Structure formats: C-alpha cells, structure tokens
Structure 1
Amino acid sequence: MADKILITGATGHIGNRVAEILKDYDSLRLMCREPEKLAGFTKAEKVKGDYKDSTSLGNAFSDIDTAFIVSGYAAPGQRALLHKNAIAAAVMAGVKHIVYLSFQGASPRSKFPMSQDHFQTEEFIRQSGLSFTLLRDSFYMDLIPEMFGENRLMKGPGGRGQVAWVAREDVARTIAHVLLDPLPYQGTFDLTGPEALTLAQTAERFTQLQGKEYIYQEETITQGIRWRNDLGAPAWEVATWIGSYLAIAAGEVAPVSNAVEQITGLKPFSLETYFTQFPQVVA
C-alpha cells in the first residue's frame, strides 16, 4: 500500500497547488479549516483541521506516513507555537516523515520576524525525533506585482540587497516531489530561482517585461513604518513588512540554490519565463 500523505493548509496558495499536483495519488488527505472548499478533489479525503485545535489535528494526522506542514498565519512568536501543535500531533500519530515549508535565512537573529518563527519551528521538528525535510523558500516571484501595487511603485528600506526570487510553482512541485519520495531528501534545502536581483534590478526587469515603468524607491525605516502605520495594520504586521526589507538589505535571501533542479529535475523559472507563462499573476 502506498504511503498516506497529508497536506495541511490545502486551500492556501502552496497547499492547494501541491494538492493539485498530487490529486491522482491513491492515498491523499487534505486538511483545512473549510474542507467544503475542496469539493473539486474527488479522489482525496478531506478533513477539517486547525492548528489551534488539538483534537482536529489528532484526527488529521492519524494513520499518516508523510505530512506536509505549511506555516500558519499569526503574530511572530504565536506562529511557531501553532506549528508546534501540528508537530506534536504528528508525533502522537506516529507520522514517519515531516516536510515543513520554512524560509530562506531562517535564524533567531534574522531581520525578518517570520524567519525567527520558522527557525523556532525547525528546532521543534529537530527535537521531535521524526525524519524531516526543511524546505526554505526565498520570497515568491508571485508577490512582485503586489509589492509594486497599482502605482507600480515599491517602497522600502531594502537597500542594494538581493533577492533570489522563486516561483510558487517551483516550490509546489518541489514539495510534491519530496512528499512522494521523502527519504532521499532528508535535511534542509533552500528553494530559490536561478538568480538574485536587487529591488532596483527587479523594477528594471519588470519594466522591460511589462512595457510599463516600475520603480523601486528606497526609504528609511522611519518613513516605512510611518506610512504603513497609517494603513491601520497591526503593529506586528508593520514590523513584519519592514523586517522583510531589512532581511533583503542584510543579504539573507540573496544566496542562489540549485535544490529545485536537484529535487525535481527541472530548472527553476526565471522572472521572465515565469510571468510570460503565467501572465495572470500580474493581472
């Protein structure tokens, strides 16, 4: 019998795409808070699960061999504790292997608050005694249009730091590959695109690709905090936004990895090939 695979966060961007790739797999369970949204996955088992609800996690992880744990959404510090609940459920259920989607540069000293949470989650996984694969993706190419916004202007204290932008599609297919055969890929892998670009270079390349001017504007930390606070976002979200740019400036997401090709056998998308093949991402 094939190993039973669990995909958490199955309605999210990454979880849903991984589920699509594996939709014909014979023993697949999909977990999310609203399983009715997964009606299109006729072959998979759908279960309700929430990282805050230990009972639901126990049901979701029961009889699972390989589990994909995607990160939840909460304030820094709280996210890692939510992930700890999922890891504990995996241990209790006797899961053989965990695949966790972490973040490039995960460290207790990262400028990006979410990276600190990812590092803490990685530590929980290491302490669990389970076999694991930690996939640390860089910032998603898919977020570039959102970062520029309708005015095609990106502002932040990113300096001349580089980003090894990676397509969500590359991340999803790498996860799917590992879930199908996890043992050769135990350990930690960075998932990046084929090159690293500064934010100014990203704007230039996007301008050439779209035929419209995109601009990156450097700003101070104080300036960045001020206008983001004016949007009415919670303080922790503002700190996270600013921290993402500070991590870029510090070079945390600049290293380029060959892990996508190593694992999938396919070269990762460049910025131009991705947005040419998936123009709807810009719309």
Structure 2
Amino acid sequence: MKIAVTAASGQLGSSIAKQLINELGKQDVIGIARSPKKANHLGIEIRKGDYDSRQELDLALKDIDVVLLVSGMAEPQKRIQQHRNVIETAKVNGIKKIVYTSIIGDEKNTSFAPIVQSNRQTELDIKNSGLEWVIGRNGIYIEPDLDYLDNYIKEGEIRNCAGKGKCAYTSRKELGYAYTKMLVEGTHNGHTYNLSGEPISQKKLTEYINSVYHTELVYNSISVKDYCAERKEALGEFLGSVISGIYEAIHNGTYNVASDFEKATGRPHQSAIEMIRELKISDNN
C-alpha cells in the first residue's frame, strides 16, 4: 500500500510522514511538496505537486493507494479550489481513500470563521467524492505558544482575549500519530474525529509553562476588540484577524470539546503538560 502525504515540507505534513515511515517503512511513503528540496530531509521519494497545478498533481498521485490532504494555507475561497484539485486528481488516478486534516472551529461568530467554513466545504467535497474517507478536525497546536515564549518572557505575561474559556490543545507529533492510524487502518473509514487533548484555560496553560520552563509569567485577559486591534497592528489585517479570531473562539467555548483521539488511535491524548515537557526536550536536542 503506497500512501502519499501532501505538503510534506510543512511541519504537520512532515510529522505525519515521519510517523508513517516508522509504521510502513520508507518504500511505501511518498511525499508531495510544492518545493521538493524542502522535504528531502525525510529520506523518501518526493514528488513535485502544487495545489494550483492539476498537471503536477496528476503526476504526483500516480500509483498511489491512499492520499493525505493537508489543508492549504491560501485565503479561504482559493483554498477550496486547491483542495478540489487534489480530490479530482485522486479520483482520476484511481486512489481508493483520502484523509483530510480539517480543524475544530465555529463557522459563524469570529474573524476565524471563513477559514473554518472553507474546511467544512472541503469536508463536504470529500464526502461527496465517492472515495473512502476519514476526516480529522485538529485542535489548536500548543507549539506556537512555546515558539512565542521569548516574547512572553519579555512582556512578563501571556495576554489575549480568551478569558476563562478552555482550549483542548494538541501537538503536531500527536496529530502525526493519529493520522498514521487513520491512513493505515480501515476501521476509521467514514468517520470524522476531533483530534485534541484535555481542555485547559489560559491561566492553567500559563501555570504549566511556568512549571516546565521555570518562568514567572502571569495571564492577563483583554477585550476581544482590543486584542483584535493589537494583533492586526502587529501581524497585518489577514493574519491578525485569524489569530484574534482563534482566541475569541476560545473565549466563546468553541475549543472546549470532547476529544475523539482515543477512538482514532487506541490510546489517550498526551496531557498539556506532557506535551510542553516533550517539546522542551526536543527543542534542547
């Protein structure tokens, strides 16, 4: 069984490819990347495949049994068509099954909603494709908070608009493990899974970071309006809206969800503090 992983040069695609290699060996895992050189570190066959190019995708998906479609990074409407290019090319090439990395989220009430809506449209397109399918809805990655730690330390705080809302975080490594199971095991076909861990508050996240990194951060909540303005000024209109929308959704309870991780993998999701500890160790190596 040959499995292709799209966006193999990215952090999520790379994590999934590595887990698949551990499970199947290098000969049965194919990476697809817009810039193949960026995925050479995986040590597997890498094929050129841009989501905008049906011609490239057609060549990239030859002789593949199962494809993992990693959600694209383009603006929402463009992303829908990019994903359709992969789905249609998969059908033409006789691929049996498609697994999609979607997201948990609210389709209506925040500035992050358009991205959630685009993911839901791709979910629908996949369900209507006639292929076997599995959909994972990813929780919020915990890694960006740790990547931003130097800024938090400089400011002495974690500041956002999440308030007392809880967020069920995940990590790319945990997702890599889950998607490998979903790709390889047929029992998951036809299922949609929330892939996330235990819901925790921003205050609890701050406590965990302090515990592992020996910092003395405090959590401060500000209004949605102020946080949105702050993020747009720092990151620009589009990305600022995305980030503030995520924290607004946490405030609204969108990410305080029950996890299907154990159904997908056969084991519990790592706890938030376990993920933080593991990521600190991997950063130091």
TM-score by length of 1: 0.89
Distance 1:8 1:139 in 2: 20
Distance 1:184 1:156 in 2: 37
2:91 maps to 91
Cα 1:78–1:147, aligned 2, differ >3 Å: closer, same or farther? Answer: farther
Please give the root-mean-square deviation of Cα atoms over the aligned residues, in Å.
2.0
- Secondary structure of the 2:31 match is strand
- In 2, are the aligned partners of 1:166 and 1:191 still within 8 Å (CA)? yes
- Secondary structure of the 1:89 match is helix
1:204 maps to 207
By how many angstroms is 1:248 displaced?
0.8
By how many angstroms is 1:20 displaced?
1.4
Distance 2:39 2:109 in 1: 36
1:243 maps to 245
Q: After TM superposition, list the pairs within 5 Å mapping 1:58-77 onto structure 2.
A: 58-77=58-77
- Secondary structure of the 1:102 match is strand
The answer as to 2:172 corresponding to 1:172 is no
Cα 1:243–1:282, aligned 2, differ >3 Å: closer, same or farther? Answer: farther
1:145 maps to 146
2:4 maps to 6
Deviations 1:198-246 (A, max 9, x none): 1122112222232212232212233123222322x34221211111011
Cα 1:54–1:202, aligned 2, differ >3 Å: closer, same or farther? Answer: same
The answer as to 2:124 corresponding to 1:123 is yes
Alignment length, in residue pairs?
A: 276
Cα 1:149–1:71, aligned 2, differ >3 Å: closer, same or farther? Answer: farther
Structure 2 gap ranges (5+): none
- In 2, are the aligned partners of 1:275 and 1:282 still within 8 Å (CA)? no
Cα 1:55–1:241, aligned 2, differ >3 Å: closer, same or farther? Answer: same
Cα 1:181–1:25, aligned 2, differ >3 Å: closer, same or farther? Answer: farther
- Secondary structure of the 2:95 match is coil
Amino acid at match of 1:27: D
2:231 maps to 228
Structure 1 gap ranges (5+): none
2:30 maps to 29
Distance 1:88 1:271 in 2: 38
Identity between Structure 1 and Structure 2 (%)? 26
Distance 2:179 2:52 in 1: 24
- Secondary structure of the 2:151 match is coil
Distance 1:84 1:110 in 2: 26
Structure having the higher helix fraction is: 2
Cα 1:226–1:268, aligned 2, differ >3 Å: closer, same or farther? Answer: same
- In 2, are the aligned partners of 1:48 and 1:56 still within 8 Å (CA)? yes
- Secondary structure of the 1:100 match is strand
Distance 1:67 1:251 in 2: 33
By how many angstroms is 1:25 displaced?
4.5
The answer as to 2:108 corresponding to 1:109 is yes
Distance 2:98 2:226 in 1: 41
